[in-house]
Amino acid sequence: MKKFTIQITILMLLVVGLQACLEETPRFYDFESYEFSSVDEDGGTWSTILVIDPSEIQLAAPLSVNSPAYKQELKDVKNLTSTLTSAERKAVEYWTSNPVIRWNEIALEMAAKYNLIPGPNADGTYTLPNPANPVGPPAFPFAHPPYTSRMLAYLSVAQYDGLILAWKYKFQFKRMGPSVQDSSIKSAYPENGLPSYPSHGAVIAKVSKEILTLMFPLEAQVLENHYQQHLQSMLHAGINVPSDLEAGVYLGDEVVKLAKMRASIDGMARAQASKPVSDSIANAAFERFGWKWQNTEVPQRPVGLTPLFGQVKMWHVPTVEEVRSPPPPAIGSAEFEADVRELERFARHMTLDQRRIANWWEDGLGSYTPPGHWNKFAKLSIVQAKLNPLRAARVFAYMNTAIMDAGVACWDIKYYYHYPRPVETIRNFRTILGTPNFPAYTSGHSTFSAAGAEVLAHFFPTQAQQFRVWAEEAAMSRLYGGIHYRFDAVEGTIQGEKVGNYAVARAKSDGIDE
Amino acid sequence: MNQFYRSGFILTCLYISCISPSFAQMPFDEIMMPKGELCVAVLGEHGSWNRYWEGDYFRENANIGTFTRQMLMPMVAMGISKKVNIIASLPYIQTEASGGTQVGQADLQDLSVSVKVDWLQQRVGAGRLLFLTNTHLSNPVGSYLSDYMPFSIGAGAPEIGMRAITGYKMDNGLVFRLATAYLWRGQTQIERDFYYQDGAVYSPFMNVPNAVNIQGAIGYWTLENRLRLEATYMSLNCLTGDDIRSYNRPQPTNKMEVSQVGFWAQYYIKADRGFGAIAYFNQTVSGRNVGKAATMGLGLTYQFKAY
């Protein structure tokens, strides 16, 4: 029996020891609320992206802090803050002083949840996700990279424009928050010197909830719950009174109307072309170049992914023709053959480092896609630089619109040249990554990443080198994965840089970034 | 899903192979391999499936076609004492799919070391009641990527298992056996740092769910204890984990469940030390987030007095 006891003891110690070694698997970025590195009193004058004429959205002046109604609000907030449950306290901590971060994370989570490609029906046909019947099956949407890039662009732009308006009225009315009015009310977050009317948090909450509900209709209830919790948390944090929130919600609503209007006519509804249209695009390429890309899945998908995404309205590039890439090398040409041999070499002698790079950048089905990956980088840099919500939204807005523009430019080229994938041109070629359902040239990862890197390099110049190294790595990762030729990646990177610079040029016009 | 085959397989090996009949048979019998006795074995296994469970939805996938998994596993077992044996194994595994365009995986999988202890031999009626335990530790040794399912050759995580084995061996050669194990699994390091498991996860580590593993067998010894035949049942159930999402690939966090029935035959060429042969077949009958595999294996054992 003694032996048994010893054996058990050793085992328990081992299990406990190993359990202690387990790494955390966090669901969100855990960071302390911080004091903003700038207040940006002139933020209300920055140029909006979505809202053409900001003066068309007017906000009424707040009640005086001496009015009985305001005093009652203050009293209610004081009561609320003094009787917080632990769940309420946790919510205050979760939302932080920069809730742009959290809504961005929620968007990425939904992207990953819905980034599932519809499978075939029993008879070998495929059913497309249908916004008129979002439950499906298949569920709507399929949050593939173009879809996700657009979702993030609208989300970030609506947040940014809403916050520009919020800043404008904050510094017009200068009504300070509860902790300034009543020193016995403590703000849960570091004091930032920002007027609290209208609540910037409420603007963020409202536009985020509405845009994400538009993009992920099945998540309406989940988003409503996040929204309510976020609004409550601002009262619980002692940073706002209800009339601050109402004003923020109002501004948010006005911006959402404009965002929805643009989204309804930006061309996305037509992007997933019908089979006849798709076939005519493929045949036009075949007549022009003597090749066409084809889906290699079984059963074969009748239409590639969003053949007409290249016609979707861009944010910063006047016409897609301005950023078109040159023709790819002809199949069978010396350059083509050299790049094919390179792929064969990578596949035969894959180093662990190459494999790691391919997988780290895969961002494939079930993931938050490459745009999501760049949003994570932006998030980390934003928190590190202690940006206020307006600045944070600015980074996300310019980056995500640039990334979407890059997607549009890339898709325009993809379906114009209709270039086959390596598994189609190389006999018996096997890859470590799944081959996507759209043509090869140019590489989406490369364009998305180069555009994202250019914008982040502008906002965080001390990290510019790192962002560009990452963009290069993202481009190369597709070669290691066996799903792109080098010329796809090289031209994609150039194209992405070009697109990114349009966004940077527009951001520079505010004259406020270092 | 492959680690289940491994678990089930190693389990089978640990208890059944490497036993010379001259020393009264099996590890769950009253006599194990005596002190100084060494047994080496090589097993080859071929498993394949063409349908799998995505959660509880049983489906085909033409982009996988028929999935094949082959294994070559050297093993060594040693009698430390009459009551304590040690067994180690290190499989080499290769996977491939007949459909689709993705390459399979081939590498050394996990080194497993286990200690088996004989606790009880009690005469009851026309036989003996037995109780043994087996404790194993396994850890990946190759550089295989676990987050490449279904091609991954293993879960890529350390595992500690504790198994209780009870049996009743009758004098007429019939054996009844039930082994129940709790498998504690650690984490597997993957090559991305964001993934989806019932929500977003920002980590390059995945938690591999703990599992309960049950093995039952009804066996019969014949030809003067040189031939052993067994009908076997094996189940493995993860206690937590998520399902494979719609038309998506599996991942190591999945709640995998499998139960299989099988047949096992072992023949000792001489009724003493020396060579023995093993053949077995297992058929998956139900599962969750695993392929419905049929597996067959052949093995050769050689036992000798080492010191």
Q: Is A147 helix (H, G, I), strand (E, B) or coil?
A: helix
* Residue B15 confidence (pLDDT) above 80: no
**Class of A41-129+136-264 in CATH:** mainly alpha
Condensed to tens digits (0 to 9), the pLDDT of residues A261-312 reads 999 999 999 999 999 999 999 999 999 999 999 999 999 999 999 999 999 9
Suggest the residue from A25, A128, A352, A374 to mutate for an interface test with chain B (most B CBs closer than 10 A). Answer: A25
Residue A216 falls in which region: left (phi positive, over 0), alpha (psi -120 to 50) or beta: beta
Amino acid A20: pLDDT = 72
Residue A231, pLDDT above cutoff 90: yes
Mutation site, A13, A18, A484, interface B, largest B CB count within 10 A = A18
CA distance A42 to chain B (A): 36
Give which of A430, A433, A445, A480 to mutate to test B binding, by max B Cβ within 10 Å: A430
A380 touches chain B (CB under 8 A): no
Count of other CB atoms within 10 angstroms of residue A64: 11
Q: What is the pLDDT of residue B142?
A: 87
DSSP string, A360-392: HTT--TTS-HHHHHHHHHHHHHHHHTT--HHHH
The structure tokens listed for A12 are 């328990």
State the residue for tokens 């510094």. A171
Query: Which CA distances in Å does A504 have to A293, A313, A336?
Result: 34, 18, 34
Backbone angles phi, psi at A485, to 5 degrees: -85, 165
Q: From the CA of B264, how many Å to the nearest CA of chain A? A: 30
Q: Is the dihedral of CA A130, A134, A136, A138 positive or negative?
A: positive
> Per-residue confidence at B307, pLDDT binned at 50, 70, 90?
confident
DSSP class of residue B17?
S
CA distance B19 to chain A (A): 23
Domains A41-129+136-264 and A270-508 share a fold: yes
Test the A interface: residue of B119, B247, B251, B253 with most A CBs within 10 Å: B247
CA-CA distances (angstroms) from residue A263 to A33, A186, A224, A372? Answer: 33, 41, 21, 20
Which is nearest to A201 in space by CA: A189, A213, A212, A217? Answer: A189
CB contact under 8 A, A27 and B200: yes
Residue of chain B whose alpha carbon sits nearest to that of A370? B194
> For A451-461, what is the mean pLDDT?
98
Q: Say if the Cβ atoms of A3 and B117 lie within 8 Å.
A: yes
- B136 → chain A, closest CA residue: A11
Whether the pLDDT of residue B4 is over 70: the answer is: no
Task: Please name each of the domains of chain B with its CATH number.
Answer: 2-305 (2.40.160.40)
B17 pLDDT higher than 60: no
Q: Which pLDDT value is given to residue B246?
A: 96
φ/ψ of residue A184, rounded to 5: -85, -10
User: Measured between CA atoms, how close is A429 to chain B, in angstroms?
Assistant: 7
pLDDT over threshold 90, residue A407: yes
* Residue A354 pLDDT level (bands cut at 50, 70, 90): very high
A434 interfaces chain B, CB cutoff of 8 Å: yes
Tell me which chain B residues have a C-beta less than 8 angstroms from the C-beta of A11. 135, 160, 162
Asked if B265 and B289 touch (Cβ cutoff 8 Å), the reply is no
3 state DSSP class of A218: helix
pLDDT of amino acid A318: 97
Q: State residue B21's pLDDT score.
A: 30
Assess contact for A110 and A216: CB atoms under 8 A: yes
Residue type present at position A487 = F
Indicate the average pLDDT of chain A. Answer: 96
Domain A270-508 indexed as CATH 3.40.50.150: no
Whether B249 has its CB under 8 Å from any CB of chain A: the answer is yes
Q: At what angle do helices A200-215 and A389-417 cross, to 10 degrees?
A: 20
B195 CB near a chain A CB, below 8 Å? yes
CA–CA separation, A366 vs A363, rounded Å?
A: 8
From chain B, the residues in CB contact with A22 under 8 A are: 186-187, 205, 207
Mean pLDDT of A144-160: 98
The CA distance from A44 to the nearest CA of chain B, in Å, is 34
Coil vs helix vs strand at A229 = helix
- Cβ contact (<8 Å) for A433 and B186? no
Helices and strands, counts by H and E, chain B: 1, 20
Q: How far apart are CA B93 and CA B91, in angstroms?
A: 6
Instruction: Tell me the C-alpha to C-alpha distance, in Å, between residue A393 and each of A165, A240, A316, A419.
Output: 13, 20, 17, 37
CA-nearest of B92, B148, B95, B113 to B293 is: B95
Of A451, A444, A446, A491, which is closest to residue A326 (Cα–Cα)?
A: A491
Q: Facing residues of B46 across strands? A: B70, B296
For range A344-353, the mean pLDDT: 97
DSSP state of B33: P
Peptide bond into A299 cis (omega under 30): yes
Residue in chain A closest to B161 (alpha carbons) equals A11
- Check residue A179 and give its pLDDT: 95
Which chain A residues are closer than 8 Å to B119 by Cβ? 4
Task: Provide φ and ψ at B302, rounded to 5°.
Answer: -140, 125
Predicted local distance difference test score (pLDDT) of residue A1: 54
Instruction: Determine whether the interchain pair A367/B137 forms a contact, defined as Cβ–Cβ distance below 8 Å.
Output: no
Test mutation, B80, B101, B149, B197, chain A, max A CBs within 10 A:
B101
Q: What is the ipTM metric for this complex?
A: 0.96
Q: Is pLDDT of B85 > 80? A: yes
How far apart, in whole angstroms, are the C-alpha atoms of residue A244 and residue A226? Answer: 19
With an 8 Å Cβ cutoff, is B187 touching chain A? Answer: yes
Rounded Cα distance between B258 and B289, Å, is 9
Nearest CA to B18 out of B45, B44, B37, B46 is that of B37
pLDDT above 70 coverage of chain B, percent: 89
Task: Using a CB–CB cutoff of 8 Å, tell me whether A365 touches chain B.
Answer: yes
Q: Is B265 helix (H, G, I), strand (E, B) or coil?
A: strand
Q: What is the mean pLDDT of residues B3-21?
A: 34
DSSP-assigned letter for residue B106: E
Q: What does the pLDDT read at residue B306? A: 87
Inter-chain residue contact A27 with B207, CB threshold 8 Å: no
Task: Decide if A21 and B193 are in contact by the 8 Å CB cutoff.
Answer: no
Residue B272 pLDDT: 62
Cβ within 8 Å of A, B 259-288:
none
Q: Taking 60 as the threshold, does the pLDDT of residue A7 lie above it?
A: yes
Asked if B198 is an interface residue toward chain A (Cβ–Cβ < 8 A), one would say no
Candidates B191, B251, B254: best to mutate against A (most CBs of A within 10 A) is: B191
Of A15, A352, A362, the CB nearest to B192: A362
Show residues of chain A in contact with B207, CB under 8 Å.
22, 25
Is the CB of B248 inside 8 Å of chain A's CB atoms?
Answer: yes
A286 and B CB contact within 8 Å: no
Strands B110-124 and B127-140: antiparallel
**Contacting A residues, span 290-319, partner chain B, CB-CB under 8 Å:** 296-299
User: Which residue reads 């309205």 in tokens?
Assistant: A313
Q: In chain B, which residues have their Cβ closer than 8 Å to the Cβ of A108?
A: 194, 200
Q: Is B99 on the interface with A (CB under 8 A)?
A: yes
Q: What is the DSSP letter of A177?
A: -
What was the pLDDT predicted at B271? 65
- Of the CA atoms within 13 Å of residue A424, those in its CB half-sphere come to 20
Summarize pLDDT for A373-382 with one digit per residue, the tens: 999 999 999 9
pLDDT computed for residue A514 by the predictor: 64
In the stretch 33-72 of chain B, residues with CB closer than 8 A to chain A read 61-63
Nearest CB among A18, A116, A360 relative to B191 is that of A360
* Closest CA of chain A from B145, distance in Å: 9
Average pLDDT on A334-344 reads 98
pLDDT tier at A3 (50, 70, 90 boundaries)?
low
Model confidence at B159: pLDDT above 70: yes
Asked if residue A203 lies in contact with residue A251, where contact means CB atoms within 8 angstroms, the answer is: yes
The residue written with tokens 């190389």 in the block is A426
- Segment (H or E) for A202: helix A200-215
User: Average of pLDDT values for A246-260?
Assistant: 98
Q: List, for residues A38-91, the tens digit of each pLDDT value.
A: 999 999 999 999 999 999 999 999 999 999 999 999 999 999 999 999 999 999
Q: What single letter denotes the amino acid at residue B198?
A: D
**A109 vs B: CB within 8 A:** yes
B-proximal residues of A, 155-194, CB under 8 Å: none
What is the helix, strand, coil percentage profile of chain A, to 5?
60, 0, 40
**What confidence score (pLDDT) does residue B3 get?**
37
SS (H, E, C) A460-510: CHHHHHHHHHHHHHHHHHHHHCCCCCHHHHHHHHHHHHHHHHHHHHHHHCC
Q: pLDDT tens-digit profile of A487-510?
A: 999 999 999 999 999 999 999 999
Helix H or strand E encompassing B48 = strand B37-49
> Domain boundaries in chain A?
41-129+136-264, 270-508
* Chain A residue with minimum CA distance to B99: A298
More confident residue, B7 or B238: B238
CB within 8 Å: A23 and B203: yes
Whole-number Å distance between alpha carbons of A365 and A385 = 32
Q: What is the pLDDT of residues B244-253, one digit of tens each?
A: 999 999 999 9
pLDDT at A2 over 70: no
What six digits make up the tokens of B142? 């190759």
Q: Model confidence over B184-212: pLDDT tens digits?
A: 999 999 999 999 999 999 999 999 999 99
Chain B nearest CA to A398, separation (Å): 23
**What radius of gyration do chain A's Cα atoms show?**
25
Give me the pLDDT at residue A271, please.
Answer: 98
pLDDT score of A213 more than 70: yes
Looking at the complex, report in whole angstroms how far the Cα of residue B92 sits from the nearest Cα belonging to chain A. Answer: 19
